[in-house]
Amino acid sequence: MREHYHDELDSITDGLIEMANLVGSAIGRATTALLDADLQVAENVISGDAEIDDLQRDLEDRAIALLARQQPVATDLRIVVTSLRMSADLERSGDLAQHVAKLARLRYPEQAIPRDLRRTILEMGQLAQRLMAQTAEVLMTRDVDAALQMERDDDRMDELHRAIFQHLMDDRWHHGVETAVDATLIGRYYERFGDHAVAVARRVVFLVTGEQADDLLTEPPAIA
Amino acid sequence: MREHYHDELDSITDGLIEMANLVGSAIGRATTALLDADLQVAENVISGDAEIDDLQRDLEDRAIALLARQQPVATDLRIVVTSLRMSADLERSGDLAQHVAKLARLRYPEQAIPRDLRRTILEMGQLAQRLMAQTAEVLMTRDVDAALQMERDDDRMDELHRAIFQHLMDDRWHHGVETAVDATLIGRYYERFGDHAVAVARRVVFLVTGEQADDLLTEPPAIA
């Protein structure tokens, strides 16, 4: 019974890793679709989101079945409940990749992103994909240091997000309002994607250490 | 034991209703802060979000304690697990209200929203507040018809969201890129807020009927 139980717990973690891998691939391809104005790749990301949604539902059903059958307590219970939250973060990340692909499709055959923002968006896309790969890694290894490193990588995402706004507000911006609106939304999608990847890693940190990632990152307060 | 158990279940539902009420009030006040450029109200919404976050953590702890102590199965188990998902939706809605307030604060003492978009934003703000009030109601009454009505109200939110984009793309738009970016983000915050309110109501529908809201709304397919 116990052995079967741990198999079930492991299979839930495997499901989360599979979701993270699919979502990481989706954001990578969505970035390609966006920057190359590639309709085929965009359609592929858009239709592929259903698989991620199915995985989430399947994972949720299995988590509930495990709760009902095995009635875990303490740490194991927290792992199962947390896995439900993590699967919701991953499912939402998949939606965000789909949003990027939909914007590429909407502007096709035009480029949604003008030349002077392409480098920033490319870096955001690559960072998003890398963050999600790290999330998969952290889910697998439970490596707290790797999870905390992700917080720093996500700071770079926030910097890039701000760089987009600064560029849009620059007097030299001459691509008009439609392109500014597109860039605003795309920037927000990547930034939220990073947040969800980090949120999953934070939950792993909490499961492993019992402490919030924030508390592990900040220096202890000086004695007054 | 059973009686205590149902008290605990009820108290989780009460917690969700309390969260929905707080979040509904927050989005209403955030809209006021935005449209009246009222810094005091904005600050109030921004600092008030901590209370919503605390409620969510408290609710999550109580749900996990209930799972550990009472080990519910079948419908009761699904109610507890679903309440965790609902509390996450409500917490996120609180963040979105806070985002609206932060944008009001960022532009203070200027108005973030120009005159020609104020009516649309006001309607989105009122609709957001009403949707969240309906969510609280549906949590209390488990009224499936009221929950399904919310889907239609949310269609109006999507219409208003599209209206913002149309207005921004109009050649007569003369408020510049910064204001367009602000309006894009604000529109997205309200639209997502509505999605979360509806998501909570959908989860209630599923708990009550065992069917997805989508299936209850669409006509049965005609026989080919």
What burial letters (b/e) apply to A73-110, b meaning 16+ CB within 10 Å? Answer: eeebbbbbbbbbbbbbbbbbbbbbbbbbbbbbbebeee
- Among all residues of chain A, which has the CA nearest to that of B76? A68
Record: contact A165-B173, CB cut-off 8 A: no
pLDDT of residue B224: 42
* Six token digits for residue A219: 């220096």
Q: Can you tell me the mean pLDDT for A139-145?
A: 96
CA pair distance A54, A19, nearest whole angstrom: 10
A199-208: pLDDT as tens digits = 999 999 999 9
Yes or no, beta carbons of A81 and B78 under 8 Å apart: no
Identify the architecture of domain A2-216 in CATH.
Up-down Bundle (1.20)
pLDDT > 70? residue A13: yes
Cβ–Cβ of B64/A85 closer than 8 Å? no
State pLDDT tens for residues B104-119.
999 999 999 999 999 9
User: What integer best gives the mean pLDDT of chain A?
Assistant: 93
- State the pLDDT at residue A224: 42
pLDDT at position A60 over 60: yes
Domain ranges of chain B: 2-216
Q: Is A138 helix (H, G, I), strand (E, B) or coil?
A: helix
Give, to the nearest 10 degrees, the angle between helix B2-36 and helix B39-70. Answer: 160
Among B17-26, B193-202, B215-224, the range scoring the smallest mean pLDDT is B215-224
- On whether any CB of chain A is under 8 Å from the CB of B181, the answer is yes
Question: Among B22-31, B66-75, B181-190, which is the least confidently predicted range?
Answer: B66-75
Q: By percentage, how much of chain B surpasses pLDDT 70?
A: 96
What whole-number distance in Å separates Cα of residue B140 and Cα of residue B137?
5
Full DSSP string of B70-118: H---HHHHHHHHHHHHHHHHHHHHHHHHHHHHHHHHHHTTS-SS-HHHH
DSSP annotation string for A162-221: HHHHHHHHSTT--SHHHHHHHHHHHHHHHHHHHHHHHHHHHHHHHHHHSS-HHHHHSPPP
Judge contact between A110 and A210, C-beta under 8 A: no
B221 pLDDT higher than 60: no
- Is residue A135 within 8 A of residue A150, CB to CB? The reply is yes
Could you tell me which residue, B54 or A9, shows the higher pLDDT? B54
* pLDDT category of residue B211 using cuts at 50, 70 and 90: confident
Comparing A173-177, A211-215, B56-60, B99-103, the range with the smallest average pLDDT is: A211-215
Is residue A40 a contact partner of residue A30, using CB atoms and an 8 Å limit? no
Exposure b/e, A198-214, CB count within 10 A at least 16 = b: bbbbbbbbbbeeeeebe
Residue A171, pLDDT score: 82
Best mutation target, B66, B181, B188, B206, to test chain A (most A CBs within 10 A) = B181
Whether the CA torsion B29, B30, B31, B32 is positive or negative: it is positive
Q: Tell me the mean pLDDT in the region B192-207.
A: 96
SS3 B224: coil
Neighbours of B143 (CB within 10 A): 17
- Chain B residue numbers with beta carbons less than 8 Å from the beta carbon of A64 are 77-78, 81
**HEC-encoded secondary structure of B161-194:** HHHHHHHHHCCCCCCHHHHHHHHHHHHHHHHHHH
Q: pTM to 2 decimals?
A: 0.93
Q: What is the pLDDT of residue B142?
A: 95
CB-nearest partner of B168 from A60, A73, A177: A177
Q: How confident is the model at residue A2 (pLDDT cuts 50, 70, 90)?
A: low
Is pLDDT at A143 greater than 90 in this prediction? yes
Supply the pLDDT for residue A125: 98
